[in-house]
């Protein structure tokens, strides 16, 4: 669509009045302060498979000059544009495509990002700012170096892991704009705390949640290994990685171009874009049906063991849940830390015990459906992805076991579970609760309900209550009395 003309005088008032009907339906969100996490407690969980460590100390983000150069301003052309005014509203119900360039230095750990987002307001109401998530704000000492909307400078602020990005006016429902943000950061050099999410250590570079992405404010600090993230699906992400030395990468999506020091990747229908890289990565590939599996690792990595685990997990879980959604599936050795999921990509940490590989790969593979296909707020409703994923992984491998913690509520946020019992409560007790439902409903009805939940919410954001209600709708039994004591937040 052509860019709207600038309103002047009475035309400004008219433009704002015309926007009011859609403004009335916008999601009103006041400019937040740093979110308050729940109570903390206990020592780190030691379950080798999926436990992840507490947050690392903050590397404070800062803002530097954001005025664009003349060339930068000319490069950021208007799509539909912004009209004058404000509504103090934002939303995650936006459609955003990302085109980003990462310039990294493996030796110095320098990490520079320049990202252009094409944002279409599909929320049904008007907005005047974006909330963007990136852990570079917490782990990388991020400094924003450029911020523009349709080529005009704006002045974002940063709190915790959220960039509050003003649009400089109103983006009405159905309208689009181009948003550009650039920052510089430094990768961590260890895998302690949460550093493993954004680091270069042990010969491997790990970059998770580095790309500023449409989200909402969530506290990064938590008393356990929970994931403090929620992101909608993007229909298209294109990432160019430029390094100072030859590196091989395992990424979300697939390589579509480049060579030498510059590699270009593209992904579709993903909630984030993560990658790992190493100079001496080897790769083992195999085909399972229509899916190409790649296993990436440094010398000494158990390629064959990981490949067998990936084939087993993908085939068994797809038989239960429905087709895997991407053409490729990559499993990559990381610098360390814990197993982690990304769309089309699983991280396996350096040094993981061989006996834990089948479960760890199966758990992270399950996230391709629960978090990948159907998203959820992983901070406030961890049951929707972690319990469902762990149940599927253990069911596929026959690894069901009892919890080592006392019976707990299953509807809390990650901020409310202790480090000692988060895994035992959400993963183990949560998975056992689903297995109990399966036995009561019968496997045929149960798995039909799970597949219907995945189909009805495909590439959307859902949650725990929708999952449980879908199962309840697939049986003549009344499951609500089973839900009430474990999920009082919803029933």
- Buried b vs exposed e over 80-97: b needs ≥16 C-beta within 10 Å? bbbbbbebebbbbbbbbb
Give mean pLDDT, residues 425-448. 98
pLDDT tens-digit readout, 371-417: 999 999 999 999 999 999 999 999 999 999 999 999 999 999 999 99
Which one, of 56, 355, 110, lies nearest residue 245 by Cα? 110
The CA distance from 452 to 446, in Å, is 10
> Interior CA angle at 224 toward 233 and 186, to 5°?
65
Residue 445: CB atoms within 10 A of its CB come to 17
pLDDT of residue 2: 35
Instruction: Say if 137 falls within a structural domain.
Output: yes
The answer to whether residue 273 scores a pLDDT higher than 50 is yes
> What dihedral do alpha carbons 48, 271, 227, 472 form, nearest 10°?
-90
**Which of 48-57, 84-93, 129-138 has the lowest average pLDDT?**
48-57
Instruction: Say if 69 falls within a structural domain.
Output: yes
The CA distance from 54 to 35, in Å, is 17
pLDDT of residue 80: 57
What percentage of the chain exceeds 70 in pLDDT? 84
Number of domains composing the chain: 1
pLDDT of residue 73: 35
pLDDT of residue 228: 98
Which one, of 240, 234, 284, lies nearest residue 264 by Cα? 240
Instruction: Say if 151 falls within a structural domain.
Output: yes
Locate all alpha helices (DSSP H) within 371-441, ordered by sequence. 388-397, 422, 430-441
pLDDT of residue 336: 97
The CA distance from 332 to 444, in Å, is 35
> What dihedral do alpha carbons 320, 324, 328, 330 form, nearest 10°?
-50
Which one, of 353, 311, 347, 450, lies nearest residue 392 by Cα? 450
Q: Could you tell me the pTM of the whole model?
A: 0.86
Backbone angles phi, psi at 434, to 5 degrees: -65, -40
Instruction: Say if 173 falls within a structural domain.
Output: yes
If phi over 0 gives left and psi between -120 and 50 gives alpha, with beta otherwise, what is residue 153? beta
pLDDT of residue 81: 86
Average pLDDT, the chain: 88
Give every CB contact of residue 287 below 8 A, 6+ residues apart in sequence: 293
Give kind and range of the element (H or E) at residue 138. helix 136-139
Domain housing 99: 19-232
Give mean pLDDT, residues 170-187. 98
Give mean pLDDT, residues 434-458. 98
pLDDT tens-digit readout, 13-53: 334 333 433 333 333 333 333 343 433 333 333 343 334 43
- Helix, strand or coil for residue 184? strand
Backbone angles phi, psi at 180, to 5 degrees: -120, 135
pLDDT of residue 61: 58
Tokens of 442: 């019968």
Which one, of 275, 69, 251, 105, lies nearest residue 185 by Cα? 105
Instruction: Say if 70 falls within a structural domain.
Output: yes
Chain position carrying tokens 């100390």: 57
The CA distance from 223 to 220, in Å, is 10
What percentage of the chain exceeds 90 in pLDDT? 84
pLDDT tens-digit readout, 324-333: 999 999 999 9
Exposed/middle/buried for 397, CB within 10 Å: 0-12, 13-18, 19+? middle
**Which of 58-67, 70-79, 131-140, 438-447 has the lowest average pLDDT?**
70-79
Instruction: Say if 323 falls within a structural domain.
Output: no
Asked whether the beta carbons of 424 and 404 are under 8 A apart, the reply is: yes
The CA distance from 43 to 169, in Å, is 47
**Which of 18-32, 72-86, 198-212 has the lowest average pLDDT?**
18-32
- Helix, strand or coil for residue 337? coil
Instruction: Say if 48 falls within a structural domain.
Output: yes
3-state helix, strand, coil in the chain (%, to 5): 25, 30, 45
Query: How many alpha carbons lie under 13 Å from residue 6 in its C-beta half-sphere?
Result: 2
Asked whether the beta carbons of 432 and 410 are under 8 A apart, the reply is: no
Q: How far is CA 401 from the centre of its chain?
A: 29
DSSP 356: G
Instruction: Say if 105 falls within a structural domain.
Output: yes
pLDDT tens-digit readout, 284-325: 999 999 999 999 999 999 999 999 999 999 999 999 999 999
The CA distance from 465 to 120, in Å, is 29
The answer to whether residue 270 scores a pLDDT higher than 50 is yes
Asked whether the beta carbons of 141 and 186 are under 8 A apart, the reply is: yes
């Amino acid at each position: 669509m052509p860019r709207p003309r600038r309103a002047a005088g009475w035309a400004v008032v008219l433009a704002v009045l015309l926007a009011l009907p859609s403004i009335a339906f916008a999601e009103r969100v006041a400019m937040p302060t740093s979110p308050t996490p729940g109570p903390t407690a206990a020592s780190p969980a030691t379950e080798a498979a999926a436990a992840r460590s507490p947050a690392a100390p903050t590397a404070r983000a800062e803002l530097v000059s954001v005025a664009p150069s003349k060339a930068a301003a000319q490069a950021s052309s208007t799509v539909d544009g912004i009209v004058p005014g404000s509504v103090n509203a934002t939303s995650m119900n936006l459609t955003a495509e990302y085109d980003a360039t990462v310039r990294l230095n493996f030796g110095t750990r320098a990490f520079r990002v320049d990202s252009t987002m094409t944002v279409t307001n599909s929320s049904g109401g008007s907005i005047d700012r974006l909330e963007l998530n990136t852990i570079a704000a917490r782990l990388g000492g991020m400094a924003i170096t450029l911020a523009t909307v349709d080529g005009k400078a704006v002045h974002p602020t940063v709190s915790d892991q959220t960039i509050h990005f003003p649009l400089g006016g109103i983006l009405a429902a159905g309208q689009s704009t181009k948003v550009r943000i650039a920052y510089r950061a430094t990768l961590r050099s260890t895998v302690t705390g949460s550093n493993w999410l954004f680091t270069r250590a042990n010969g491997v570079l790990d970059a998770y949640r580095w790309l500023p992405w449409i989200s909402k404010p969530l506290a990064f600090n938590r008393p356990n290994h929970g994931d403090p993230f929620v992101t909608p699906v993007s229909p298209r992400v294109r990432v160019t990685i430029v390094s100072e030395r030859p590196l091989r990468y395992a990424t979300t999506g697939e390589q579509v171009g480049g060579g030498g020091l510059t590699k270009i990747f593209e992904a579709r229908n993903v909630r984030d874009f993560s990658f790992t890289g190493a100079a001496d990565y080897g790769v083992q590939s195999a085909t399972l049906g229509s899916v190409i599996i790649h296993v990436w690792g440094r010398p000494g990595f158990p390629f064959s063991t990981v490949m067998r685990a990936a084939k087993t997990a993908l085939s068994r879980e797809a038989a239960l849940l429905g087709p895997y959604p991407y053409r490729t599936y990559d499993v990559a050795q990381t610098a360390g830390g814990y197993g982690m999921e990304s769309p089309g990509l699983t991280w396996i940490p350096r040094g993981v015990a061989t006996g834990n590989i089948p479960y760890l790969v199966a758990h992270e593979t399950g996230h391709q459906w629960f978090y990948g296909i159907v998203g959820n707020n992983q901070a406030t409703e961890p049951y929707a992805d972690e319990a469902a994923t762990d149940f599927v992984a253990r069911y596929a491998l026959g690894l069901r076991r009892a919890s080592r913690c006392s019976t707990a509520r299953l509807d809390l946020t990650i901020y409310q579970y202790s480090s000692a019992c988060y895994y035992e409560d959400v993963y183990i007790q949560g998975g056992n609760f689903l297995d109990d439902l399966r036995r009561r409903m019968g496997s045929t009805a149960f798995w039909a309900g799970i597949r219907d939940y995945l189909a009805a919410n495909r590439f959307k954001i859902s949650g725990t209550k929708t999952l449980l209600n879908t199962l309840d709708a697939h049986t003549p039994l009344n499951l609500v009395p089973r839900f009430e004591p474990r999920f009082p937040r919803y029933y």
